[in-house]
């Protein structure tokens, strides 16, 4: 009876260490974001600007992608289109095979998680090594990222130290954050020299110049995209923007919204493979442009707003539900509010429809989203799609949440609320019958008492007080 | 939004009582009427009103939500404010009707009604500039602001402003006040474990203020938090801000 999501959530709620770590990290991230804005006006202005940039990009998506492809090719970057996750995986595999490469070093990429690349490559005898510190930890632990920016936020320093020590007993045990980072670097460094292929994600793609932009803090993204002779960037088609001048505002709002940083340590602009006479850089650069359901969202005027997302995670960090259950409970690649609107659109309401109910619609997500995605409204819309029986809806899995008995109840409710006489009679009756109405309702009363119906309704009381009714 | 001048206070308003108050907390509706009368305003309460449609709207049943919302539209024909003693229902009418009625023949009508909707505490402060005189004993009051009040309706500061009139009341804001109490309508039933964790945390922050009383603009939250406090046996009264204000300004020793 209880869904998988509810079981996962309950289990997360019962793990004290997860609760403590989550609570600490989300509140810290919120404080950092808050501190990043000197004036509320500045934030509002920048948000308006960034929303317009992303709206424009999503509106012109097909033509910008064409322009992007032309310019990437002109720059010597090889472009691969992938309609599905499987196609994207095969593109990467065939590049690996062509170079006879058995190891791929990876910078952080949520799209590679989306297509489950590591698992796919492993099945083909290829090892994928995560080099982002958080992702490295997650990979060692054999888990999935619990957050899109801070993949290991559910673990504390001690747990990370123990994990590293277990896998690399040759190094001295430490719980010092800087020393832990140094240690991971040391372990990873050798691999950078020998890997023939490096893979990264992409934060923005500039259509007018054919440039890939990569935002990161650790420098591993730069290593993955410059040291191996082959660099593969995998990304969703929605990451395109029109102009170079769109980048500074987006970068500024992205880093502040994510971690409260005014700028990250590294910002990479990749515009071509190594040119004749140049001493470094990859000899081949590939970009894999993944659709995987995005074009379905693009065709729906309301849902297309989802594609504006710049994956800053602010909505996740401010979500009171995420704050209590963490990322794993969602059972998706992207957790939190953005995941709850994105995953049902990409992978179907039949599989992920419940996530649209994993929200109180409190609006904290909508409030902080730097590109003004009306997340709560989209959740509301997807709840509709889940119950719809008409053919006008192209959301995958539409209508899968239709339950005849539930619909009958809502119809009864609507009938009552549109027949004031019946409404007044039944509410009056309900109040009179309040003693015999069931006094419990488990889901509610586990932690609460049952509210009692009033002796008389407001309608009756105001009538008795002689309040005018017209 | 509203053309506000010092001299043109509305003299007559509609009251939309909300179904929750109608059925469970009518005393909050009565107190709303008393407060508005106290401020010299006449009230019209259309007896045919039922519900704003939000429960169905948030559950994905748009057809039913539309039918119910539509039945309310014609009840408020005069160009006067519609006062709603709930930020959540006020938000539904003011901001969600435009989406609900989009493309419908009565869309313009719905937008017109929406533009006249006011949440009670905001109306008392901004439109009526209500004056209140405290006649109660010293009391520490925790203020809970609903998510609708804080966000779209932007009336988070109205309760503290109203409580400033009451010299014996010490209003406090619990820690992490901006975090949702976990009610969310059907959320509390569909995701009871998460909802429970959220409301219990909310209770902890409220209790930590040392307040003897909890007030809010929204009975949805109050029902959630209040019932949870009660279950824990915490002696902390909860009241709608209208009830609380009306009680405080009664002269206890005539
Ligand atoms: S939906 Fe908005 S807040 Fe959430 S990750 Fe995307 S851009 Fe950031």
Q: Which of B25, B26, B180 sits opposite A360 (nearest CB)?
A: B180
- Is residue A191 very low, low, confident or very high in pLDDT (cuts 50, 70, 90)? confident
Q: Which atom of ligand 1 is nearest to the CA of A308?
A: 7
Q: Given the cut 0.85, state whether the ipTM is greater than it.
A: yes
Which residues 263-302 of A have a C-beta within 8 angstroms of B? Answer: none
Share of chain A above pLDDT 70, in %: 98
Minimum distance, in Å, between the CA of residue A431 and any CA atom of chain B: 7
Q: Answer whether residue A258 is part of any domain.
A: yes
How far does residue B88's CA lie from ligand 1's centre (Å)? 24
Q: Is residue A284 part of a domain?
A: yes
> pLDDT of A120-146, one tens digit each?
999 999 999 999 999 999 999 999 999
With 50 as the cut, is the pLDDT of residue B6 above it?
no
* Region A245-265 average pLDDT: 96
Task: Please write the tens of the pLDDT for every residue from B102-158.
Answer: 999 999 999 999 999 999 999 999 999 999 999 999 999 999 999 999 999 999 999
Among A245, A277, A292, the domain boundary falls at: A292
- Name which residue leads in pLDDT, A59 or A171: A59
Q: What is the mean pLDDT of residues A423-444?
A: 75
The CATH number assigned to the domain holding A279 equals 3.40.50.10420
Could you say which residues from 158 to 177 on chain B have a Cβ atom under 8 Å away from some Cβ of chain A? none
Give A459's contacts in chain B (Cβ within 8 Å): 17, 22, 47
Q: Which domain holds residue A432?
A: 404-464
pLDDT tens for residues A288-306?
Answer: 999 999 999 999 999 999 9
User: Does residue A52 lie in a domain region?
Assistant: yes
C-alpha A160/C-alpha A147 separation (Å) is 16
pLDDT at A434: 67
Could you tell me if residue A338 is inside a domain?
no
Over 50: is that where the pLDDT of B214 sits? yes
Q: Grade residue A1 by pLDDT with cuts at 50, 70 and 90.
A: low
Flag whether A386 is in a domain.
no
Residue ending a domain, choose from A292, A307, A326: A292
Interface size, chain A vs chain B, as Cβ–Cβ contacts under 8 Å: 198
Please tell me the least confidently modeled range out of A29-43, A396-410, A433-447, B239-253: A433-447
Selecting from A10, A383, A450 the residue whose C-beta is nearest the C-beta of B59 gives A383
Distance in Å, CA A401 to ligand 1 centroid: 26
Share the mean pLDDT of chain B: 95
Confidence of residue A193 (pLDDT cuts 50, 70, 90): confident
Q: Does B136 touch chain A (CB under 8 A)?
A: no
| Contact with chain A for residue B223, Cβ under 8 A | yes
Residues of chain B found within 8 Å of residue A325, distances taken between Cβ atoms:
194
Q: Cβ B26–A456 below 8 Å, yes or no? A: yes
User: For residues B62 and A168, what is the distance between their CA atoms, to the nearest angstrom?
Assistant: 57
pLDDT at B4 over 70: no
Q: How close B198 gets to chain A, by Cα (Å)?
A: 8
- Residue to test with chain A: of B46, B72, B191, most A Cβ within 10 A: B191
Distance (Å) from CA A309 to ligand 1 centroid: 5
CA of A256 to the centre of ligand 1 (A): 12
- Sheet (strand A240-241) strand order: A240-241, A204-206, A211-216, A266-270
Q: Residue B2 pLDDT > 60, yes or no?
A: no
Residues with CB under 6 A from ligand 1: A 309-315, 338, 368-371, 373
Average pLDDT over residues A135-161: 95
pLDDT in tens, A9-39: 999 999 999 999 999 999 999 999 999 987 8
Residue of B18, B31, B47, B239 to mutate, testing the A interface (most A Cβ within 10 Å of its Cβ): B47
How confident is the model over A222-241, as pLDDT tens digits? 999 999 999 999 999 999 99
Of A292, A314, A337, the one marking the end of a domain is A292
Phi-psi region of B83 (alpha: psi -120 to 50; beta: other; left: phi over 0): beta
**pLDDT of B145:** 97
Q: Does A386 touch chain B if contact means CB atoms closer than 8 Å?
A: yes
| Ligand 1 centroid to residue A379 C-alpha, Å | 14
Report the number of distinct structural domains present in chain A: 2
Q: Mutate one of B16, B26, B54 to test the A interface: name it (highest A CB count within 10 A).
A: B26
According to the model, what pLDDT value does residue B251 have?
74
In this structure, are residues A165 and A173 in contact, taking their beta carbons and an 8 Å threshold? yes
A458 touching chain B per CB within 8 A: yes
CB of A384 less than 8 A from some CB of B: yes
A342 belongs to a structural domain: no
What is the tens place of the pLDDT at every residue in B201-212?
Answer: 999 999 999 999
Confidence class of residue A149 from pLDDT cuts 50, 70 and 90? very high
pLDDT, residue A440, reads: 57
Question: Does A363 lie at the interface with B, CB-CB under 8 angstroms?
Answer: yes
**Is residue A321 in a domain?**
no
Residues A285, A433, single domain; the answer is no
CB contact under 8 A, B47 and A420: yes
Residue A303 lies inside a defined structural domain of this protein: no
Q: Is the pTM of this model over 0.90?
A: yes
pLDDT in tens, A358-370: 999 999 999 999 9
In angstroms, what is the span from residue A162 Cα to ligand 1's centroid?
A: 33
Do A454 and B179 count as a contact with CB atoms less than 8 A apart?
no
Q: What is the pLDDT of residues B151-177, one digit of tens each?
A: 999 999 999 999 999 999 999 999 999
Tell me the CA end-to-end span of chain A in Å, nearest whole number.
Answer: 49
pLDDT on residue B252: 61
Which residue, judged by its Cα, is nearest atom 3 of ligand 1? A369
Beta bridge partners of residue A216, listed in sequence order: A266
Residue A339 CA to ligand 1 center (angstroms) comes to 10
Q: Report pLDDT for B103.
A: 97
How far apart are the CA of A439 and the nearest CA of chain B, in angstroms?
13
For residue B181, give how far its alpha carbon lies from the nearest alpha carbon of chain A (Å). 9
- The segment(s) of chain B belonging to CATH 3.40.50.11810 are 132-248
The answer to whether B58 contacts A385, with C-beta atoms less than 8 Å apart, is: no
Helix or strand or coil: residue A275? coil
Mutate to test the interface with B, among A458, A460, A465 (most CBs of B within 10 A): A458
**pLDDT attached to residue A268:** 97
User: Sorting pLDDT into bands at 50, 70 and 90, what band is A324?
Assistant: very high
Q: What is the CATH T-level fold of the domain B132-248, as seen in this structure?
A: Rossmann fold (3.40.50)
Mean of the per-residue pLDDT values of chain A: 94
Nearest-CA distance A388 → chain B (Å): 8
Separation between Cα atoms, residue A293 and residue A85, nearest integer Å: 10
**pLDDT band (50, 70, 90) for residue A443:** confident
């Amino acid at each position: 009876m209880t869904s998988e999501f509810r079981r996962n959530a309950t289990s997360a709620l019962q793990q004290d260490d997860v609760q403590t770590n989550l609570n600490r990290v989300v509140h810290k991230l919120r404080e950092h974001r808050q501190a990043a804005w000197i004036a509320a006006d500045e934030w509002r202005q920048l948000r308006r600007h960034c929303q317009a940039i992303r709206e424009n990009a999503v509106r012109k998506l097909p033509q910008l992608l064409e322009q992007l492809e032309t310019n990437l090719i002109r720059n010597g970057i090889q472009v691969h289109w992938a309609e599905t996750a499987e196609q994207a995986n095969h593109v990467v595999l065939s590049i690996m095979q062509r170079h006879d490469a058995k190891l791929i070093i990876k910078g952080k990429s949520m799209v590679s998680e989306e297509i489950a690349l590591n698992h796919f490559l492993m099945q083909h005898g290829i090892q994928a090594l995560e080099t982002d510190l958080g992702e490295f930890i997650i990979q060692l632990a054999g888990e999935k990222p619990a957050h899109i920016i801070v993949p290991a936020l559910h673990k504390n320093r001690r747990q990370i130290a123990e994990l590293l020590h277990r896998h690399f007993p040759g190094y001295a045990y430490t719980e010092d954050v800087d020393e832990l980072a140094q240690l991971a670097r040391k372990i990873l460094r050798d691999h950078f020299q020998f890997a023939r292929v490096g893979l990264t994600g992409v934060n923005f793609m500039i259509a007018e110049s054919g440039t890939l932009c990569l935002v990161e803090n650790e420098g591993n993204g730069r290593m993955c995209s410059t040291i191996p002779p082959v660099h593969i960037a995998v990304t969703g088609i929605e990451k395109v923007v029109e102009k170079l001048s769109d980048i500074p505002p987006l970068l500024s709002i992205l880093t502040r919204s994510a971690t409260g940083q005014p700028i990250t340590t590294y910002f990479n602009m990749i515009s071509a493979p190594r040119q004749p006479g140049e001493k470094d850089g990859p000899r081949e650069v590939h970009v894999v442009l993944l659709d995987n359901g995005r074009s379905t969202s693009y065709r729906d005027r309301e849902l297309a707003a989802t594609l504006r997302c710049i994956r800053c995670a602010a909505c996740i960090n401010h979500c009171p539900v995420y704050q209590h259950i963490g990322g794993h409970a969602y059972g998706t690649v992207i957790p939190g509010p953005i995941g709850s609107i994105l995953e049902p659109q990409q992978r179907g309401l039949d599989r992920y429809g419940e996530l649209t109910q994993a929200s109180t619609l409190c609006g904290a997500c909508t409030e902080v989203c730097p590109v003004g995605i009306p997340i709560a409204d989209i959740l509301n819309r997807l709840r509709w799609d889940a119950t719809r029986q008409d053919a006008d809806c192209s959301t995958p899995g539409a209508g899968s949440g239709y339950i005849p008995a539930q619909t009958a109840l809502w119809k009864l409710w609507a009938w009552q609320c549109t027949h004031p006489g019946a409404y007044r009679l039944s509410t009056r009756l309900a109040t009179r019958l309040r003693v015999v109405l069931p006094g419990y309702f488990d889901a509610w009363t586990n932690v609460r008492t049952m509210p009692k119906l009033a002796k008389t309704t407001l309608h009756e009381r105001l009538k008795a007080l002689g309040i005018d009714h017209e | 939004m509203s053309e506000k001048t010092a001299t043109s206070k509305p003299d007559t308003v509609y009251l939309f009582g909300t179904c929750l108050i109608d059925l469970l907390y009518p005393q909050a509706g009565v107190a709303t009427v008393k407060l508005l009368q106290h401020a010299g305003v006449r009230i019209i309460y259309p007896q045919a009103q039922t519900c704003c449609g939000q429960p169905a709207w948030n559950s994905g049943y748009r057809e039913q939500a539309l039918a119910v919302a539509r039945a309310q539209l014609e009840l408020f024909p005069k160009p006067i404010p519609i006062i709603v003693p709930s930020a959540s229902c006020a938000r539904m009418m003011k901001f969600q009707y435009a989406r609900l009625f989009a493309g419908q023949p009565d869309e313009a009508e719905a937008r017109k009604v929406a533009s006249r909707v006011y949440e009670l505490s905001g109306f008392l402060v901004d439109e009526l500039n209500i004056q209140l005189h405290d006649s109660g004993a010293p009391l520490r009051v925790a203020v809970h602001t609903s998510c609708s009040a804080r966000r779209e309706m932007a009336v988070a500061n109205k309760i503290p402003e109203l409580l400033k009139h009451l010299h014996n009341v010490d209003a406090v804001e619990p820690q992490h006040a901006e975090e949702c109490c976990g009610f969310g309508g059907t959320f509390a039933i569909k995701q009871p474990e998460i909802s429970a964790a959220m409301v219990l945390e909310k209770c902890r922050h409220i209790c930590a203020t040392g307040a003897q009383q909890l007030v809010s603009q929204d009975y949805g939250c109050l029902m959630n938090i209040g019932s949870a406090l009660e279950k824990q046996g915490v002696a902390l009264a909860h009241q709608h801000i209208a009830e609380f204000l009306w009680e405080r300004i009664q002269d206890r020793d005539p």
